[in-house]
Structure 1
Amino acid sequence: MIFVYKLLFFFTLYISIYCREYPFINTPDQEPYYVSEGEQDLILPCSFTETFRSKNLYEPNWVRFVNGTPDYITRNENVFESNGDYDLLTDIPGQYNLKIKSVDYSRDNGKFFCKLLSLKDKKQYSSNPAQIVVLLPPGDAIITSQPTRPVKENELVTFHCEVHGGNPEPEITWLFDNSSEVPSKWYRTTSNNEIHISSLQFPAAANHHKAYPICRVTNKAMKKGTYKSVNGKPLDVLHAPIVNIEPSSIYNVEEGKNVVITCLAEGNPMPTSYEWRNLATGEHFTGGKVWSFVAEKSHSGELQCTAKNSIGYGSKIVTLNVQYPPIVEVKNFINPSENDEVHLDCNVDSNPPSTRIIWTGPNNFIQEGSKLFIEKISSDQTGNYTCTASNTLTVTNTMFGLSSGESTQRQGSGTTFIEVKRKPGPATVITQATSYPVGSSFILTCSTNDIGSPFASYKWATPQTFGKYVGDITFNDAILKIENAKLSDNGIYKCVAYNNLGEGIEGKIKLTIISPPKITKPLPITRHLSSGDTKITFECEVIGYPAPSISWFINGNPINTDDILEHYWQVNSKLIKREPSDCNFCPSIVQSSLSLNHIISWTDKGNYSCIAKNGPDEISKEVLSNSIVTVQHPSKIVSKKYPIHGFAGANINEPGIISCIVSARPEPRFLWYKNGEELKNGMSTKYTIKTTQLPRKIDEYESLLTIKNVSEVDYGEYTCKTNNGRNIDEQASYTIILKKKTVPQPPTDVQILSSSSNSLLIGWLPGYDGGEKQKFNLQYIRIDPKTKNKISHPVIIQINPDNVEMMDFYAIDDTNIFPGLRIKRDTDNISNKKIKIVSYMVYNITNLLPMSTYMIGVRSENIFGQSDWSSMNHGETHETTITSLNFHIQSMKYIEEEEKLIIQTTPIKSPQNYCIMLYINDESSFNISDPKSQYSHSWHTINCFPLEETIPNIPPSRYFRTRICSKENLSLCSPSSAVLISKNQKTFEILIIILGILVVLCCGVGFVGFCCTCIGRNKMPKIKSDHVLKKKSQLVNSHRTSNSTEEEIMSKMKSGSTLEPSFTPLSSTPDSKVQSLDIHEIVKHYDNSYHSNQTVEQPQYVMLPSPSPLIESEYQLGYTRLIDDYLNSQNIARAPTTGSTDSQKMNIIAHSPTESTDETDGASYSTNGGSQRVMREIIV
């Protein structure tokens, strides 16, 4: 520490002494002053400390050194330059600054010193010199020496670059023409007064050919980065060829592919010849710089290209690597016995070496490695065993002159057939059909998936051999021919494959030889009935084998005797005779009768058909007998009412046409009235009345009242009265109001008539058309089945009139029901009920998502505008059971934090044509173990998403399920995935288990306490015990009452709840569930009002199934087909009939919504919105 203090003391002492002896406060900068010629007022600073300012003791002066010569410029206050180029600045005490008024190169380019002379001891003090550099740019560079003739490679070449002037001294550098700097050791610069010379010398190289050096000059007088430059002449360097081979130095090629290599050589003079050599094989090629050939394995190695010119030659080597897929060698065939040990070697040759070798064989056999070993082989291991080796080829691909490696997987395989000695496998009988008509010929083939070793022979047992195997050559071949089949050929056909080791399992098939049905007792061609008739029966008799089944139709519609119709119609079929009675395969006679167990009314008229069949259509065509039935009845109004009167529309000066349609037999007479006055033909030219019988209708007539030019006085009520002469009291009256044309009335009673997985068949009652032809718009929107919130945008369909059709339905008119009145129906007395017709307009909405809920509304429009939307109804599509796509969901994972679903599928070609159908289920009571759980109504569809691995923005749910579907037809799907249970549900289930355990523990503790209490209570009086029992009884009764009340509330909610959707312009609609419309299940509501949403009991309706096609030529007496087959026109098949002929049950469809097997069948019919039941038209 003492040493530090001493050091500090001496340093302070030195500074104080130095400061006393150093006179300068300011001196010129040590850095040079770079100035331009003529620069004004350059000041060189100099000032003295107070000690050295005395003029009696010290004398200041400025001295200039230019070109080595010193000159005094000032002394004390005197300036010696007479021309006034310098000034002293001494305004401040101690200041002695020198100002150069205008800089001059010849005068001022040098050093300036500020000095102080001690007059006492003649000691001089001098400041730092002020180095003044007057900037002058150098002159232009000149190449003074350079080669003028060609030079050979490695010969020295010299360039001289000369520059004049410049201050400060210029800097000379060299560049080549490609902007690369010349190494500084290749040149040096010398200066002589105003001349500066740089000499460049280097050995000429081949890459210097046609290159030239650039001499560059600069100094501080020039802007930084700028130069004065001069180019030398390009060099002419004579050199041997420089060779390069394209596309790369290592050329990888697959065997059998073309090799194309190019020898690129540059020389001076240019090469005159090229030679290729394969150094491995010694092969030569002198055909030019490009060598092309097909690669073989032997070509692998180094390829050398040599180019020559007059100076010499150059060469380059490329490595050719011929790659080839594995070449596998194995034995072709081995024939071991059962339980033998099997060894097989797989010899593989490949370049590059194989990365994997595996053996594969029957029954998913797989074994890694080149050696196959089976310890004990069995007969079921017979088959092809394939050794497959794989490697990866990385071949050279040339594109746009650049080479790149492209990897390709290659495989090679060899197959050994291992034929284990064994008996044949199970036999299968193959034939085109299981039913054939009498007189036909057909072939049966005995086949087996394992023909055994040695190969199998075959034998047959047939009805002709009485079920036994025989030695006849006819029955000892793989193929059995049956010609001119007879009924005696009915029965079981068996075959077996065998060899010397034994027999396989026999195969068998049952064949039915059909004698097509024939009608032996047809229906009468016509039959005339009268209203009020009873006990009407139709009989039909058919013969055939097997016993034919008989179905009854009215106007092409199958008659359904299920549920409420079982007392309305009755069908009885019975087998009455077989010839002979002991014959097992002889034709049978079946007799069927249709009984009309009700009082005959005009609605019973129509085309009645008896249809019989006993096999597939392609084997045994059905036969038919028709009867046109008429009913004598008074006039019945058929024209539409809205809802009480009819309407007709006409504007002023337009013709007005008023129609009145009635059904009557005999032909009716029409009378027209207005304001109580009868209107007749001929009474005025204003009115024309024309009556015609409607074509394609039975006993229906139309009377048209035409008003020539409508005026204001023509508007009002018109009455059509009609009677066919039976009884004046049976006169029918129909009131039509003629008014100006206007917008149509809204449709009413929107119904869901049927549903499939991707479609809904919609029906509605058209309103008055406003006097002009009306069209319809249909609106639907997908909603959440629980919250009823919309989950898609509304879709409005402009319905093409060609795609919409009227369908007639029959309502059972049991009584007059007024709004609000509820009457319990007695279906046992249905035979006493009457039927009325209701006509629906129908349209099929397609391309819907399965298992989704839709709200549907309809409106009408004509040239005057649009009506309001109808009341809304909702329908549900069901799940498709068709699994036509052979794809599978391999795994699913739901990440709740990110709300995304990750899916892996089997490989799919053209994934852009498919989508992932995603279903969710949030029901806590869902039974996942149920085999039909995927059809549960608790599932609903989110959407069909693009076929990608991740589906984002999926809300949490308890269960998830997916399947792959075609975008073009969402009913074509893969099998459903397994149900994915979310983490929340699993946690919930664990909590339920824990809660269950706690409940059991609590019950155990409570039971112990209860036992203790019971011991004490045994001592209490009997009165108290009775009181307790009484309270318990009251508690039980109260609980039952509560449950009953709850069930009643739930029932009312289900039947009368309404839905108020969150979207416009659709109105609210009843929230009743759409159900399957099997004929014995439908009990739905029917709304006759235009806008009412109330649930009102209405007359009960029954709907017949879809009509079946009837050939027009089969109608007799000139009657044409009476009803168009709407569902058939929509490509919906008629519901199949069962084999029974006794009280057949014909459902609208052959499946329920949860058991659908065909997306193009009739689906299921349903109605919503009222209390009626709907039935297809049975009478026209």
Structure 2
Amino acid sequence: MARILLLIIGCVVVSGNNREEVADVREGQDVTLKCRFNNPSLLSTGGQIYWMRQRTGEKDNVAIADTPLDRSYTVDLEPSEGRYDLTISRATYERDNGMFECRFKEAGTGSDLHTTTVNLTVLIPPGSPRINPEAPTATEGQSIDLVCSSQGGSPDPQIIWYRSGSDQKLYSVLKPGGGRETPTTSVLTINPGKDDDAAEYRCVVWNRALTDNEKMETTVVLSVNYYPRITIGPENPLRVELDQSATLTCSADAKPPVSNVRWTRGGRFIGTLNTLVKERVTLDDAGRYVCQADNGLGRLREAEVTLDVLYGPRVSVISSKDVDEGEDIVITCNVTANPAPVTIEWLKEGDDSFRQSGVDILRLNRVSAVNQGNYICRAVNILNPTGGEPSDRIGNATVAVRVRHAPGKTYITPAEPIAVQGEQSTLTCGAEPPGWPMPTYRWWRHDSDATLTLGANYTIPRASLTDEGTYYCQPSNRLGKGTPASVRVRVHQPPRILENLPETAIHRIGTTNLSLTCRAQGKPQPSIRWLKDGEEISPADGLYDILVEQSSLGQNAAHTVQSTLQFRGAKRINDNQLLPTDRGTYQCVFKNDVREVSSSQLLRVEHSPITVHKPNKVAFNLLEDAQLECRMQAYPEPKFQWSLGPNFIEPDGAHYATNDTTLPDDVYASVLTVRGVTEADYGSYTCKGTNSRGEHKTIITLQEKGRPEHPTNLRVIDKGTDKIELAWDESFNGGFADTIFQVKAETMSGEKPSHDCQTKNPCIIEPLAQQTTYKLQVKASNIMGDSDFSDPLEVTTLVNVDTIPEPEEVYFERTGNMLSFKVLPTDLMLQGQVEFRTVDSDEWTPMETLVQISSDSHDHGEVFLGKESPDDVRIRFCSVFVESSCGNYRIAKKVDYLPPVPSQSMSMQYMVAIIVGCVVFVALVALIFLCCCCRHRNNKLKNKTADMEVSHRVVTQQAPPPPYYTVGMDNKGLDGSMDTGLDDPSKTAIYSSQQYHNYSQNGHVNPQNNNGMGYMDNSYSNSNNGGSVNSQDSLWQVKGHGEAQMTTHMAPHMAQDSRGYQYDPMVHGGYGISGYDDYSHYPPTSYQGQGMVDEYPGSRGNYVTNGDPYAAVHKPRKRVEHIDGGCDVSGMPDPYMEHYEQGGAEMSSDNKPQISFDESLESGYSTPNSRNRRIIREIIV
């Protein structure tokens, strides 16, 4: 067996030659106990060495020297190394668990020279923990011990207590067992409360035989009996409104539970239920209620709740108070309420201006008849019952303050009485002030002074026409009389029908000149209307004519009205024949201010059957039961006969069955049922209806189920600003009842949103944009597919009036009778409505025509008001589609003359300003860049000044050098690149210089156009790359306007050179240079005239002056303030400037233009007259 050496853990105590160690070994494993000598020579002194075991108080040697005394023990004695180790094989608890001693005794004396003590523990896992008691039960407030024990482990285990849900160790008392035979215990003492009930406690056991992650544990649940905890409510105090139900609850949480509770009030027992109910609480129910509970643990618990009864203000005052005029009045208002009122105030009936707030005493000083009346004491409090919302409660009481006085001005109500013939009518007389003591009222008529009655009211029991007239009333008491008052009584008579319509009438179709007559009497004169099936009849329909005759007897007599409804009109056969559609209920309705009466007749028309059903198709699949319904309107009742093709169908009950029914409005239906449809059953069925007036046939097709047919008769039911209600006629559904519909709403911009209406018809399409035209189409769908879309219907939504702008800057010019206004930006299509009023009238009169508003977002409009001379004018904007959808009016400001209208909107001005600013900024940046380049070149030119300074007058004239032609034709004045851009006649030249040059446009000479040159990117320089190293001509080139040809037929002269390269000193920077500039020493060769230009029209030859490729570059005139600039682009002498005389003769030096220098024209390239001039030339190599 392999020997396993265990790590010896513990403390090693060394004192001289004595050493104490601790070692662990698992039962059944090997362990070596080490005994080492620090001085190996000690073993050679002749002493005795041995191992001794001490266990359960007994000692025994286990090895002497190198001889073990047990077969399970072996020794390793190496004196030279000072080692004497004891190895134990298959350790057991009973044998090896104890203390081992290694001793070396001195020979002769027996003294211990060395001792090593090893406490060996044979590790055995502890036994399963057990808790006693296993089901502990405790009482609140009485402590209990929980004992956890474990037996059989070595060494004695640790026992720790925890409460479930917590990692905190609980304090407990541990009692070690001292061996595996005796259990180790841990006692946990708990003082339990209610919270400890059902708490779980955990006992954890561990010793060194287990790993750190291995633990043995057990749990126990503690049951705690606790005293009652009483919850009383539902709220304390419990607020309940008077006469409402109150419920007091008392619940006791106890263990063992409480069997019942005990309610008391004022020490008096009132109940044992957990719920105490008061159905209608009174003020006597208010107070404190006590709930007691006992669960037998010897302690009685109780709780208290207060019932607060709320009620609104109870107000009381004296009923009346009589005083004389001039006296003072003091009246007290008594108010009780719970809670206390928040407001107490005095009001007066009929006088909203009277109010005394915050006081419960009414005070009136020096009263008069005006103070008489009913005064109200009003109190308000706020009730906030438990579980409810706060609400106001109002209480009031009224006191009649009566001031003794005579009646005042008398009045009668109603002011314009109308009595109805045969009914009671009452007149009431009153006075203001009414008078006190209560006056008596005397009534009489205009035709007699006899008293009709004494009292405030006069009643006519049954009014008749003779009761019409003027009635008088006058009040009086002991203090005086009131003024007499009168009122005229008119008696009206309700319409009474004198000639009724017969209840029923039957006529044959085609009957001519049929009419119905009604006659009635009433006052005032009744109006007459004719109705058919509840809808009013209009003669404009072309089917009826209505005649009305009126008569009356005397001024106050009733009016007789007779009306005749004639069945005649343009839509009838021969204008007077009866039609089948005339069947229905007719009413003549008479109405006046009193009431409405009517007489009715049911008119039945005898005619042959007419088909009224649709569609004429039905669809069923094979083996289904098909039903074909045929509906016909007829009178008398028709008989139905069905046939399929030429064969009549006889109902047999097996395959065919029929069912005939009667429907309203003389409509009859016959339903043919085909059971178990086969292929042979598909086809066209004929339904024939026959009565005494004739017969009629209709075809109904039976087919298989399929797609629906597209809807028809698309129409608008209603529309708004963001929705349209649409309806349509449903066509054949393909045999499926659950057909659904989809609406496509296409806008003018091409958007095609779809709206799913499902089975709704009509259907509301929303959301939509306001004042937008939609093209609406509907399609039907079922499980077999979709139908085609219906015919389109264009509908425009309304405009939201809140989005219509008000007119701005509205002015009325009185001198010119003109109205001016401005329209703010809007996408709406609007028109203006103008109204005016004159000095003599306060009513606004609309203009006959509407003002059309332009689509311009900043439109100014003017309206001439014609011959009208209004005092005020106003205008508003309305939708062009619905004239009633309008914004607010704006009244015009009156002026003598209209203010000027800006040519463009302010936003356009801002835009132009921004564009101009950007152009100026870019030009400024470009100018700075050019100046920097010029300064850079200046520095180089100064270094070459001495070599280039040659007197202008002594230069020998010679022919000009030939032009240079490189691959790309570097003279871009002749290059093909000039053809692009300049050939476009539509381009307008900008920034042109006003010089004496004539340019031809589109191949035609235009001698009047002296400007029109603009800057261009192409160079006119003859030097390579558009100019020489020092040349700046390429920086400021001009192009012709359109296809400008720089040519002329005029001869050049000094005063005005008509050719395109006339030298202008201001064009070239303002420097008066004598002679012909730097190239004056080159004489002109020959004059090349118009022929060369015309030889190549439209080509690059059109862009040279008279065909001269060395003509002067035309440059714009510089501003005077820029002439002295440090880097003048045009300041250099033009190297290509040459002048010719007429006929090509040379110009003599005496005729050269002489322009002297002055100080104002100094530049970096010239000096004033006081110094010698230095001329910088461009050398062509």
Fold-level match, TM-score > 0.5?
no
TM-score, length-scaled by structure 1: 0.38
Flag the structure with larger Rg.
2
TM-score, length-scaled by structure 2: 0.38
More RCO (CA 8 Å, sep 6+): 1
